[in-house]
Amino acid sequence: MPEIHAAYEADPARASARAAAVERLVAGFDEMMSRIALVHASEFLEVGLTMSQAKVLYLVQAGPNLRMSELAGRLAVSLSTMSGVVDRLVDLGMLTRHDDPANRRQVVIRITPSGIEHIERLRELNAGQLRLLLARVADSDLALIERALAILSAAAPGPAGGTSASRTIEGDPA
């Protein structure tokens, strides 16, 4: 993952210009997401999950066998709040909860096939939105967007994926 360059710390003017550019990008991203949400909100309602429930499903799928306490910590909510969300997802058949064999006071959460189906539905809705959006972009700009996504992916924490975007950025000396 690229590190933040020390040059920004040493040059306040450069750091200020960078901060302003970052804020413009964040505002632009927010504007784009708001416009997409206006058009596609009804599709997401069909999935039948709250945002909290969707976040929990994503995290449990990404980190199988998460303890309830780990899940609450990752989402910065209380254990009782997390327990309520997980209980509802268990009732819906999207998660299971089991005692941790190593420590019976801990509860381990696992995603079910139904939970995975809901996550896949959300991903397909997102992918569909992106496809519709990209269909409106000029061919000449697609490579620029691909490059920007590769840069953002490389800057994101976590293990590198096997996508073409991640391979594109690896050999770049920039």
My answer on whether 94 and 40 are in the same domain is no
Residue 156: domain span: 139-174
pLDDT at 167: 36
Q: Indicate whether 76 belongs to any domain.
A: yes
Q: Of the residues 100, 115, 130, which one is the last residue of a structural domain? A: 115
Q: Indicate whether 131 belongs to any domain.
A: no
Q: Indicate whether 17 belongs to any domain.
A: yes
Segment 44-56 shows an average pLDDT of 84
My answer on whether 38 and 60 are in the same domain is no
My answer on whether 91 and 111 are in the same domain is yes
pLDDT at 72: 92
116: buried, middle or exposed (CB in 10 Å: 19+, 13-18, 0-12)? middle
Write the pLDDT tens digit of every residue in 74-106: 999 999 999 999 999 999 999 999 887 888 788
Q: Indicate whether 79 belongs to any domain.
A: yes
For residues 28 and 100, which has the higher predicted lDDT (pLDDT)?
28
Q: Indicate whether 39 belongs to any domain.
A: yes
My answer on whether 4 and 35 are in the same domain is yes
For residues 135 and 5, which has the higher predicted lDDT (pLDDT)?
135
Q: Provide, rounded to the nearest whole percent, the portion of the chain with pLDDT above 90.
A: 44
Is the whole-model pTM more than 0.85? Answer: no
Cα–Cα distance between 167 and 161 in angstroms, integer?
9
Q: Which residues contact 68 (CB under 8 A, 6 or more apart)?
A: 79, 82, 83, 86, 97, 106, 107, 108, 109
* pLDDT exceeds cutoff 60 at 60: yes
79-91 and 68-75 are packed helices; what angle lies between their axes, rounded to 10 degrees? 110
